[in-house]
Amino acid sequence: MNNQPSGLMLAGVSKRFGATRAVIDGDLHLRPGEIHTLLGENGSGKSTLVKILGGVHRPDAGSVTLDGVPVNSRSPRQAMDLGIAAVFQEVLTAGSQSVLENVWLGSHGTFRRRLGRAEQRSIAQDVLSRIAGEVPLDLPAGQLSLSERQSICIARALVRKPKVLILDESTASLDVRSRDRLFVELRRLAAGGTAILFISHRMDEVAEISDRVTVLRSGRSVSTVDRSDLSVDRLISDMTGNSGHNETRRQPHDPGDVILRGSAVRLAPASAPIDFELRAGEVVGLAGLEGHGQDQFIKRLAGVAAGPGRVVRLLPEGAADLTERNGDALGVAYLPRERRGESLFESMSIRENFALPTLGEDRRCGLLDTRSIARRFDAFARSLSLRFGAAQDAISTLSGGNQQKVLLARWLATDPRVLLLNDPTRGVDIGTKREIYAILDRLSAEGMSVVVLSSEVDELVDLADRVLVFRDQSVFAEIPHSELSTESIVAAYFGQKSEVHT
Partner 1 sequence: MNRVLPLFQRWPFAFALLLALVLLVLNLIVSPSFLSPARLPGTLATLAPFVLVGFASTPSILAGGIDISVGPLATFSNCLFVAILIPAGLGNWHLAAPIILAVAAGIGALNGILVAVVRLHPVVATTGMLFLLVGLSLTIAQNPVAAPNNWTEVFAGGIGIVPGALLTIGVAGLIWFALRRTAFVSNLLATGESDVSAYGSGVNIKAIRILAYTLGGLFAGIAGIALTAIVQSSQSSLASTYALLGLAAAVLGGTSLAGGRGGLLGALFGAVSIYLLQQLLTASGVAPSLIQFAYGAVLVVGVVLGATLLAPRLKRNAS
Partner 2 sequence: MSSDTLSPAPKTQAPTVRPRPWTRFRAWVFEVPALQVLVVLALAAWLVITIPAIANPRSITSILVITSLLALAAMGQTLVVILGGLDLAAPGYILFGTFMAANVAGKLGVPAVVALLITVVVCGGVGALIGWICHRFAVQPLVVTLGTGAAITGATLFLADGDYSSAPPEALRSLASLRGTTLGLPFPPIILIVLLCGVGMWLFLNRTAAGRRFYATGINFRAAQLARVRTAAVWTMVFAASGALAGVAGIFIASFGAGWSQTIGEPYLFSGLAAVLVGGSIFGSIRGSYTRTLLGALTLTLLSTIIVSNGLTEAQSRIVFGVIILAVVSLYGRERHVRDRF
For partner 2, the binding residues (CB under 8 A) are 18-22, 24, 41, 43-45, 51, 56-57, 88, 90, 217-219, 239-242, 245, 304, 324-325, 327-328, 334, 336, 341-348, 352, 356-357, 359-360, 362-363, 366-368, 379-380, 382-383, 385, 387, 389, 399, 402, 410, 412, 429-432, 434-435, 438-439, 442
Q: Euclidean distance between the first and final Cα of the chain, in Å? A: 66
State how far the Cα of 135 lies from the Cα of 115, in Å rounded to an integer.
21
Measured from the CB atom, the residue of 79 and 386 that comes closer to partner 1 is 79
Residue 111's binding partner, choosing from partner 1, partner 2, none, with beta-carbon cut-off 5 to 8 A by kind?
partner 1
424 touches 335 (CB < 8 A): yes
Residue 106's binding partner, choosing from partner 1, partner 2, none, with beta-carbon cut-off 5 to 8 A by kind?
partner 1
Residue 366's binding partner, choosing from partner 1, partner 2, none, with beta-carbon cut-off 5 to 8 A by kind?
partner 2
Residue 341's binding partner, choosing from partner 1, partner 2, none, with beta-carbon cut-off 5 to 8 A by kind?
partner 2
350 touches 408 (CB < 8 A): no
Measured from the CB atom, the residue of 111 and 191 that comes closer to partner 1 is 111
Distance of CA 32 to the CA centre of its chain: 28
In sequence order, which ranges of 281-429 are alpha helices (DSSP H)?
A: 294-302, 327-330, 339-342, 350-355, 370-383, 400-412
Least Å distance between CB 159 and partner 2?
22
Residue 156's binding partner, choosing from partner 1, partner 2, none, with beta-carbon cut-off 5 to 8 A by kind?
partner 1
How far, CA to CA in Å, does 414 sit from each of 330, 361, 380, 441, 493? 10, 10, 12, 18, 34
List residues binding partner 1 (CB under 8 A). 54, 56, 75-77, 80, 86, 88, 90-97, 101, 105-113, 140, 142-146, 156, 290-291, 295-296
Nearest-CA neighbor of 301 among 292, 293, 312?
Answer: 312
Least Å distance between CB 174 and partner 2?
21
Least Å distance between CB 60 and partner 2?
13
Residue 502's binding partner, choosing from partner 1, partner 2, none, with beta-carbon cut-off 5 to 8 A by kind?
none
Measured from the CB atom, the residue of 79 and 259 that comes closer to partner 1 is 79
406 touches 348 (CB < 8 A): no
Residues near 450 by beta carbon (within 8 Å), at least 6 away in sequence: 282, 283, 284, 418, 419, 420, 421, 440, 443, 444
Looking at residue 421, the DSSP 8-state letter turns out to be E
Least Å distance between CB 92 and partner 1?
4
Least Å distance between CB 452 and partner 2?
17
283 touches 465 (CB < 8 A): yes
Least Å distance between CB 241 and partner 1?
32
275 touches 264 (CB < 8 A): yes
Least Å distance between CB 55 and partner 1?
9
Measured from the CB atom, the residue of 81 and 369 that comes closer to partner 1 is 81
Q: At what angle do helices 232-240 and 430-445 cross, to 10 degrees?
A: 90
Q: List the beta bridge partners of residue 258.
A: 279
Residue 28's binding partner, choosing from partner 1, partner 2, none, with beta-carbon cut-off 5 to 8 A by kind?
none
293 touches 474 (CB < 8 A): yes
Measured from the CB atom, the residue of 98 and 237 that comes closer to partner 1 is 98
DSSP H/E element including 274: strand 274-279
Measured from the CB atom, the residue of 155 and 418 that comes closer to partner 1 is 155
Measured from the CB atom, the residue of 152 and 477 that comes closer to partner 1 is 152
Residue 192's binding partner, choosing from partner 2, partner 1, none, with beta-carbon cut-off 5 to 8 A by kind?
none
Burial 444-483 (b: 16+ CB within 10 A, else e): beeebbbbbbbbbbebbbbbbbbbbbbbbbbbbbbbeeeb
Least Å distance between CB 66 and partner 1?
17
Distance of CA 46 to the CA centre of its chain: 15
Residue 171's binding partner, choosing from partner 1, partner 2, none, with beta-carbon cut-off 5 to 8 A by kind?
none
Residue 240's binding partner, choosing from partner 1, partner 2, none, with beta-carbon cut-off 5 to 8 A by kind?
partner 2
Least Å distance between CB 148 and partner 1?
9
State how far the Cα of 20 lies from the Cα of 17, in Å rounded to an integer.
5
Number of H helices, E strands in the chain: 17, 22
Least Å distance between CB 73 and partner 1?
11
Number of Cβ within 10 Å of residue 396's Cβ equals 14
Measured from the CB atom, the residue of 125 and 326 that comes closer to partner 2 is 326
Residue 382's binding partner, choosing from partner 2, partner 1, none, with beta-carbon cut-off 5 to 8 A by kind?
partner 2
Least Å distance between CB 446 and partner 2?
9
Measured from the CB atom, the residue of 188 and 387 that comes closer to partner 2 is 387
State the sign of the Cα–Cα–Cα–Cα dihedral 419, 334, 453, 200.
Answer: negative
Least Å distance between CB 248 and partner 2?
10
Measured from the CB atom, the residue of 90 and 254 that comes closer to partner 1 is 90
Measured from the CB atom, the residue of 152 and 430 that comes closer to partner 2 is 430
Residue 44's binding partner, choosing from partner 1, partner 2, none, with beta-carbon cut-off 5 to 8 A by kind?
partner 2
Number of Cβ within 10 Å of residue 429's Cβ equals 21
155 touches 128 (CB < 8 A): yes
